[in-house]
């Protein structure tokens, strides 16, 4: 038997006693035996099968017991969380009212306070919190008739208008902010400065500047009677208001848009409205569908 076969049999633990004698006479017998003997110290520690099985059975029963009530419980908990979440979202969502171009809305707040919303405006308030604080957010123009009670606040991008019980109008545009008080008194907080308005007073900001205005004698803003009125307003504000009241786009040529304009136009007759603003300024009117072009001779 040759060397290769002997080593193969030795490795496979199948040497007969006679073959082992032959194996002993190989040159590298000593080296192989030394290696093999030393390898013994790398033997894995003994594995107590019965003890390990007992542990495994114990653990598996523990986990299955736990799972049996955990799974339905978790399902129940998940449904509960989702229900609570939906309930929370539905009940605490603020109420929002939005008007489109040429549209207006009248709404009653939870305390019977009355709001009229002009075209292209947005009013948001929280029904659930109403008893704690009367607070609404406004973007656009609205007229308020506030019932007497605790402080009533209107939050706008320009400042906070707060009152106790009164009638007032807020007009908020991109470069423009106007609060007019028609009854009682109103406090306007603008840039950390409080201004108190009495009946007939107007608080006006154009391009960040506070401007003085005349006393207002009317009982309510003219837009409630479908009339947009302006007193020394830049002409661009007049154009912008007309675009909000009628669904049109207006272009002006050959004229400074900052020219002051005093007057008013009706909100329910485009033809008359165009005449009202073009005649005093000697403008020519051209209408192409939804586009109106005003030019100066």
Partner 1 sequence: MPKDLQDHICDDALFSKAFRTHADHLYKFLFYKFGSQLNPKDKVQEAFIKLWENCKKVPPSKAKSYLFTVANNLMLNEVAHQKIVLKHQQTQQRSHSNESPEFLMQEKEYQEKLENAINNLSEAQRVAFLMNRAEGKKFKEIAFILDISVKAVEKRIYGALEKLRKDIKEI
C-alpha to C-alpha distance for 166 and 163, rounded to whole angstroms: 7
Q: Is 16 in the site for partner 1 (CB under 8 A)?
A: no
Q: Is 217 in the site for partner 1 (CB under 8 A)?
A: no
C-alpha to C-alpha distance for 212 and 194, rounded to whole angstroms: 16
Q: Nearer to partner 1 by C-beta: 25 or 46? A: 46
Q: Nearer to partner 1 by C-beta: 48 or 207? A: 48
C-alpha to C-alpha distance for 254 and 97, rounded to whole angstroms: 39
Q: Least CB distance from residue 192 to partner 1, whole Å?
A: 57
* Contact range with partner 1 by CB under 8 A, out of 28-36, 97-105, 178-186, 289-297: 28-36
Size of the site for partner 1 (CB under 8 A): 29
Q: Least CB distance from residue 56 to partner 1, whole Å?
A: 5
Q: Least CB distance from residue 15 to partner 1, whole Å?
A: 12
166: which DSSP letter?
A: -
Q: Least CB distance from residue 77 to partner 1, whole Å?
A: 21
Say which residues have a Cβ less than 8 Å from residue 109's Cβ, sequence separation at least 6: 115, 125, 130, 134, 136
Q: Nearer to partner 1 by C-beta: 41 or 192? A: 41
3-state percent helix, strand, coil for the chain, nearest multiple of 5: 35, 35, 35
Q: Nearer to partner 1 by C-beta: 40 or 217? A: 40
Q: Nearer to partner 1 by C-beta: 16 or 41? A: 41
Q: Least CB distance from residue 50 to partner 1, whole Å?
A: 9
Q: Site residues for partner 1, window 29-88 (CB under 8 A)?
A: 31, 34-36, 38-45, 47, 49, 52-53, 55-57, 59-60, 63-64, 67
How many CB atoms are closer than 10 A to CB 181? 24
Render 80-134 in DSSP notation, one character per residue: HHHHHHHHHHHHHSPEEEE--TT--EEEE-TTS-EEEE-SS-EEEE-STTTTT-E
Query: How many Å separate Cα 65 from the centre of its chain?
Result: 46
Q: Nearer to partner 1 by C-beta: 55 or 86? A: 55
Cβ-count burial 110-134 (b if 16+ within 10 Å, e if not): eeebebbbbbbbebebbeeebeeeb
Q: Least CB distance from residue 84 to partner 1, whole Å?
A: 31
Q: Nearer to partner 1 by C-beta: 62 or 280? A: 62
Q: Is 89 in the site for partner 1 (CB under 8 A)?
A: no
Q: Which two tokens stand for residue 237?
A: 């504000």
- The residues of the shown chain that bind partner 1, judged by CB under 8 A, are 8, 11-14, 31, 34-36, 38-45, 47, 49, 52-53, 55-57, 59-60, 63-64, 67
């Amino acid at each position: 038997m040759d060397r290769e076969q002997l080593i193969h049999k030795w490795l496979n633990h199948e040497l007969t006693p006679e073959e082992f004698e032959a194996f002993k006479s190989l040159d590298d017998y000593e080296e192989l035996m030394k290696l093999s003997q030393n390898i013994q110290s790398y033997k894995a520690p003994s594995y107590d099968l019965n003890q390990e099985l007992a542990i495994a059975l114990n653990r598996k029963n523990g986990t299955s017991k736990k799972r049996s009530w955990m799974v339905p419980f978790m399902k129940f908990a998940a449904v509960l969380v989702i229900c609570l979440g939906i309930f929370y979202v539905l009940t605490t969502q603020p109420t929002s009212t939005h008007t489109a171009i040429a549209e207006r809305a009248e709404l009653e707040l939870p305390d019977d306070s009355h709001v009229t919303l002009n075209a292209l405006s947005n009013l948001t308030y929280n029904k659930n919190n109403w008893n704690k604080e009367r607070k609404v957010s406004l973007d656009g123009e609205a007229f308020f008739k506030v019932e007497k009670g605790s402080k009533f606040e209107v939050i706008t991008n320009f400042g906070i208008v707060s009152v106790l019980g009164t009638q007032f109008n807020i007009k908020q545009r991109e470069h423009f902010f106007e609060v007019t008080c028609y009854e009682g008194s109103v406090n306007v907080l603008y840039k950390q400065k409080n201004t108190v308005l009495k009946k007939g007073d107007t608080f006006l900001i154009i391009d960040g500047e506070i401007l003085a205005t005349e006393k207002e004698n009317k009982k309510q803003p003219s837009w409630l009677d479908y009339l947009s009125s302006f007193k020394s307003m830049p002409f661009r504000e007049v154009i912008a208001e007309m675009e909000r009241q009628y669904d049109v786009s207006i272009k002006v040529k050959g004229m400074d848009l900052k020219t002051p304009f005093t007057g008013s136009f009706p909100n329910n007759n485009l033809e008359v409205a165009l005449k009202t603003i073009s005649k005093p300024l000697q403008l020519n009117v051209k209408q192409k569908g939804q586009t109106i072009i005003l030019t100066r001779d």
